[in-house]
Chain A
């Protein structure tokens, strides 16, 4: 069949719209306006204390968000995967459904609850308790992150738990394992691939976000995403913004390599 030629226009398309843009970003990050030659000044600028704290704060919040999603989400997936509930499919649908709602709206919906005239403050007011400022705090951002990305943790873990052959668990029981042993020796190890893809699906969007921190952090808490957005849309410092984007990509690639090593290590053990 000659139809392989049909792929050539798409290859050119990918070169123009995928490869060249990344090369331009790389070029911007290494060059300076009005100066010839390459420079690392924008990368070293990113390592100045002000910006380094922003990068660390993004890493910290993304890490906390991933851990909390794992702690909350794993039991949900586990309960859903056991055969205790009749309409399991519908229940799973309920947990996944918020994933389909517009990300911005999901974040925005918390303003109604956390705001200074929001639901929680109304309840506090009812009991004559003093008003609390929930918005514009790191806690609010963390809450927004967990809320947005929890379904991304539940789905892959559920999928891996659902695939476990019930005969394995029965065999374990026949061989005299108690339920704790069955969980730690059979169920949890078999769900590790799901846990790893859940971690990836939560951590990656959490570290790149600028929406949650802008809406719930009120612009007072900068994350690396905010910093990049600012360079491109407000201060027009494309060079520094590109350097930050490259750093973000390096962090992401590094973490995916780490996770895939962990996955491989585990596969070998099996």
Chain B
């Protein structure tokens, strides 16, 4: 019985990893046609780093991820502090609203933001606005904030209110007490929220596709336009790199988590 179980798990793992493994193998294949493995080469990786279009997309992806997670963390932290002090009824309403973008499908979020921007552009016709870097960044901030709030609020709930008041009684200004008492205690929530926001931003494709404009591509949108032109060994190479980067990131996140547990 145990063997059957082992074989079953192994089969499913093969199903999950075979496409990734084949992708990696083909990224090292000399021939472009994929019909045969003709020889080992790194030329697709070299070509990848010569492709200015892809490099620009990589740059935009990273910039958007850094900026959007930064803004989302700041706005989300301030909003969480406020939401935590609302009355129960108001808090429930705000939280329902906050969860709305989390449960709506990405495609609906994408088109609804797109029509919002286009409607605003229509109002300011003279300004010659169009979809592009700024709308892409704004969209990423918008879809990231709810996740930041969801990871900070539980920490705030655990916080002892008396600590803040004790600090005030001892003569601390509210700002001082905020930075010395509250922020350090919810720090882990803020950090995990910002990491989550960063990964979501890197990973997003659907919302980006609807809210970006011509000429501004992140990695996802560029990969999408390339896949529609068929297979390209450069994408195999890019996928391989992204796969290993994510593996390393996950490894470190796990390490941080287990360190936290042992502390």
Chain A residues in contact with chain B, CB under 8 A?
1-11, 13-14, 17-22, 24-25, 28, 72, 75-76, 79-80, 84, 91, 93-95, 97-98, 100-106, 108-113, 115, 117-119, 122, 147, 150-151, 204-205, 208, 210-211, 214-215, 225, 228-229, 232-233, 238, 241-242, 245, 248-249, 252
- The closest CB in chain A to the CB of B118 belongs to A238
B8 touches A10 (CB 8 A): no
B208-262 interface with A by 8 A CB criterion: 209-210, 219-220, 223-224, 227-228, 230-231, 235-236, 239, 242-243, 246-247, 250, 254
Q: For residue B12, which residues in chain A have a CB less than 8 angstroms away from its CB? A: 72, 76, 95, 150
The listed residue with most A CB atoms (<10 A of its CB), out of B111, B174, B199, is B111
The docked-state distance in angstroms from the alpha carbon of A111 to that of B223 is: 13
Instruction: Choose among B84, B86, B112, B246 the residue that contacts A25 (Cβ–Cβ < 8 A).
Output: B112
Q: For residue A101, which residues in chain B have a CB less than 8 angstroms away from its CB? A: 20, 242-243, 246
B13 touches A95 (CB 8 A): yes
Query: Given contacts A6-B82, A79-B5, A118-B34, are A112 and B22 in contact (CB under 8 A)?
Result: yes
Question: Of B43-51, B95-103, B184-192, which binds chain A?
Answer: B95-103
Question: Of B52-60, B62-70, B73-81, which binds chain A?
Answer: B73-81
Count the A-B residue pairs with Cβ separation under 8 angstroms: how many? 193
Q: Per-residue 0/1 for B160-199: is the Cβ within 8 Å of any A Cβ (1 yes, 0 no)?
A: 0100100000000010000000000000000000000001
The docked-state distance in angstroms from the alpha carbon of A252 to that of B107 is: 13
A102 touches B220 (CB 8 A): yes
Majority DSSP secondary structure for residues of A touching B: helix
- The closest CB in chain B to the CB of A8 belongs to B82
Q: Is the CB of B35 closer than 8 A to any CB of chain A?
A: yes
B203 touches A110 (CB 8 A): no
Majority DSSP secondary structure for residues of B touching A: helix
Query: Given contacts A25-B112, A117-B35, are A208 and B250 in contact (CB under 8 A)?
Result: no
The 4 closest A-B pairs by CB, nearest first: A7-B82, A6-B82, A21-B112, A10-B79
Q: For residue B247, which residues in chain A have a CB less than 8 angstroms away from its CB? A: 97
The docked-state distance in angstroms from the alpha carbon of A10 to that of B199 is: 23
B115 touches A214 (CB 8 A): no
Q: Is the CB of B123 closer than 8 A to any CB of chain A?
A: no
A15 CB → nearest B CB, Å: 8
A17 touches B113 (CB 8 A): yes
Instruction: Choose among B35, B79, B228 the residue that contacts A7 (Cβ–Cβ < 8 A).
Output: B79
A211 touches B224 (CB 8 A): yes
Query: Given contacts A21-B115, A111-B227, are A14 and B242 in contact (CB under 8 A)?
Result: no
Q: Is the CB of B142 closer than 8 A to any CB of chain A?
A: yes
Q: For residue A4, which residues in chain B have a CB less than 8 angstroms away from its CB? A: 82, 85-86
Query: Given contacts A3-B82, A4-B86, are A232 and B210 in contact (CB under 8 A)?
Result: yes
6 contacts between A and B (CB under 8 A): A3-B84, A7-B94, A10-B145, A25-B112, A75-B8, A97-B247
- The closest CB in chain A to the CB of B182 belongs to A3
Q: For residue B23, which residues in chain A have a CB less than 8 angstroms away from its CB? A: 105, 109, 112
Q: Per-residue 0/1 for B1-21: is the Cβ within 8 Å of any A Cβ (1 yes, 0 no)?
A: 010010011001101111110
